[in-house]
Amino acid sequence: MFKLHGIYAPIATPFAGGKIAYDKLEKNLDFWLKSDLEGIVVMGSNGEFVLLSSEEKVELMRFVCTRAKGKKPVIAGTGAESTMETIHLNEKAAEAGAEAVLVVTPNYYKGSMTDPVLARFYTDVANVSPLPLILYNMPRNTGINISAKLAVELAKHQNIIGIKDSSGNIVQIADMIRNAPKGFSVFAGSASFLYVSLVLGATGGTLALANVFPNECARLQKLFEAGKMEEARNLQMVLMDSNNAVTERWGIAGLKAAMEMIGLYGGPPRSPLVPLGETDREALRKILTQTGFFPKPTV
């Protein structure tokens, strides 16, 4: 069974002229695949997966998995509104060569997404998934929270191997780690609480900031696992402003602008999202520069 450990980057999807720019993605992948990342996530929230067609999702998974094969594991985001579509995408992820699938909560009918309904959704999907399944808790975007109680219940399923929790609720993360069966991995969903999650027993993280500072994010976990707690804590403090900038403050537009500043291709988000304006770009540049990790050589 695939083991969830280390730092993953939920990679951005590049667009040009409204279409996925595969030539740009190939160059970006070269940077990430040569980094200290454990692996990559395709079609996570930072990959603008909700703005992709079903056909684009399948093509994108194939492209990324083909180029990452033999280099780093790929986790594919396959969560959809219906159980049927999620199962379909899981099958396509397996065909593409992904190691696991990351499944976000259905959320349009959020008033109906009770714990029993979500338990049935994840169980039905996991029962037939050809790949191990990772729960994805993203309440800021979905308006739905996977409670610690529900996560622990689902963790008993042999094909559900972990959770990416982006809630930032440290008490909830602690409860999951404390009560879940041995072997169930809890991943921090943001670099802003990576260190404290590791202290509690998390096994890694899927971090937007790892698109921009992959080696630095990976280094934090390596320092922690080497027992260099003060160095790890200090690095956590350095990363926090940059992480906030490319997540809560400016989101996808900020992440793509930051990528351009280190020599990757960011490009515009897909409509209706809009690129970062010049004033905000300069503010972002100052934040990245303050880390001491920027500017970096272009790829």
Query: Which pLDDT tens digit goes with each residue over 146-184?
Result: 999 999 999 999 999 999 999 999 999 999 999 999 999
Task: Provide the Cα torsion 205, 208, 212, 218; round to 10°.
Answer: 0
Question: Tens digit of pLDDT per residue, the chain (299 long)?
Answer: 799 999 999 999 999 999 999 999 999 999 999 999 999 999 999 999 999 999 999 999 999 999 999 999 999 999 999 999 999 999 999 999 999 999 999 999 999 999 999 999 999 999 999 999 999 999 999 999 999 999 999 999 999 999 999 999 999 999 999 999 999 999 999 999 999 999 999 999 999 999 999 999 999 999 999 999 999 999 999 999 999 999 999 999 999 999 999 999 999 999 999 999 999 999 999 999 999 997 654 54
Q: How many CB atoms lie within 10 A of CB 288?
A: 22
Task: Provide the Cα torsion 28, 30, 26, 17; round to 10°.
Answer: 10
DSSP code, position 75: E
Model confidence pTM above 0.85: yes
Backbone torsions φ then ψ of 8, nearest 5 degrees: -115, 145
Query: Which pLDDT tens digit goes with each residue over 200-221?
Result: 999 999 999 999 999 999 999 9
Active-site residue flag, 136: yes
197: burial class by Cβ within 10 Å (0-12, 13-18, 19+)? buried
Q: Do β-strands 19-20 and 15-16 pair in parallel, antiparallel, or remain unpaired?
A: antiparallel
Helix axes of 229-244 and 278-289: crossing angle, nearest 10 degrees: 170
Active-site residue flag, 108: no
Which amino acid appears at position 8 of this protein?
Y
Q: Which of 8, 122, 136, 265 is catalytic?
A: 136
Domains and CATH numbers, the chain: 6-229 (3.20.20.70)
Backbone torsions φ then ψ of 247, nearest 5 degrees: -125, -90
Strand partners, 6: 204
- Work out the angle at residue 194's Cα, subtended by the Cα atoms of residues 212 and 119, and round it to the nearest 5 degrees: 105
Which amino acid appears at position 57 of this protein?
K
Q: Which of 57, 72, 164, 256 is catalytic?
A: 164
